[in-house]
Amino acid sequence: MTLPFSVASAPGAEALERGRLLFAGPVDFLKGVVAMEALPPPDRVEVCFAGRSNVGKSSLINALTGRKALARASNTPGRTQEINYFSLGASHYLVDLPGYGFAEAPKPVVERWQRLLRAYLAGRQSLRRAFVLIDMRHGIKAADAEILDLLDRSAVTFQLVLTKADKVRAGARERVLGEVREALQGHPAAYPEIVVTSSGTGEGIATLRALIAALG
């Protein structure tokens, strides 16, 4: 029996190659955006990555692109306050959203992030999918649930990506997956497959590349 929100299986050879070629081509940082009017033209497929501070977004983007320092990780949670755009050739934008859920950030900063995030998710017509990163060691927390609700209200299809899978034992994996599946019930915007990844070991990276390439 296929479980709801099953773990994405490895794509076929053709899909894997399409993903490899997309990310093997030119990948460049385009710009950091702090206001909607500064967004680049919506002239290509766009996917975004959202996640709590320190969930491993920068590491995942670097692993996807094969560039060690394309996305700059910070030792200070919540430092990235911009929507960062990366171009994948001429066909895709990869978008790194500001980290959320860091309670020590100044309240005006948090409110500004939230306004920009809501405006972006509600108003970006070229956005094809949001990948929401969840630390597999911790599962879905309250701040994550807020983002999932926001994506539902914005009618943006989102897909969960579990990060740091190499730090979770096999038995604990099944427990976390069960909790995540239960939490996703009732989210109409949720894509019905979960991607399990590790930037350290490379688990799930080729699968995620193929999924992004297939949106083209």
pLDDT, tens digit (0-9, with 9 covering 90-100), for 17-47? 999 999 999 999 999 998 899 999 999 999 9
Residue 112 lies in a domain: yes
Q: What is the pTM of this model?
A: 0.92
Whether the predicted pLDDT of 15 surpasses 80: yes
Integer Cα distance of 23 and 134 in angstroms: 23
* Segment (H or E) for 175: helix 170-184
Q: Are the C-beta atoms of residues 113 and 103 closer than 8 Å to each other?
A: no
Residue 1 lies in a domain: no
How many of the other CB atoms lie within 10 Å of CB of 17? Answer: 16
Q: Which residue has the tokens 């649930």?
A: 145
CATH of the domain at 61: 3.40.50.300
Residue 120 or 3, more confident: 120
Cβ partners under 8 Å of residue 117, min gap 6: 50, 97, 98, 100, 150
Residue 184 lies in a domain: yes
Residue 116 lies in a domain: yes
Domain coverage including residue 97: 6-214
Integer Cα distance of 164 and 143 in angstroms: 18
Q: Which amino acid is at 89?
A: G
Residue 173 lies in a domain: yes
The tally of domains found in the chain comes to: 1
User: pLDDT exceeding 90 applies to what percent of the chain?
Assistant: 69
Q: Which residue has the tokens 């755009």?
A: 85
Cβ partners under 8 Å of residue 122, min gap 6: 154
Residue 146 lies in a domain: yes
pLDDT, tens digit (0-9, with 9 covering 90-100), for 76-119? 444 457 899 999 999 999 999 988 765 566 778 778 877 888 89
pLDDT band at 59 (very low <50, low <70, confident <90, very high): very high
- Report the residue count for the chain: 216
CA dist 47 → 92, 137, 160, 172 (Å):
8, 25, 13, 30
Residue 121 lies in a domain: yes
Integer Cα distance of 88 and 110 in angstroms: 29
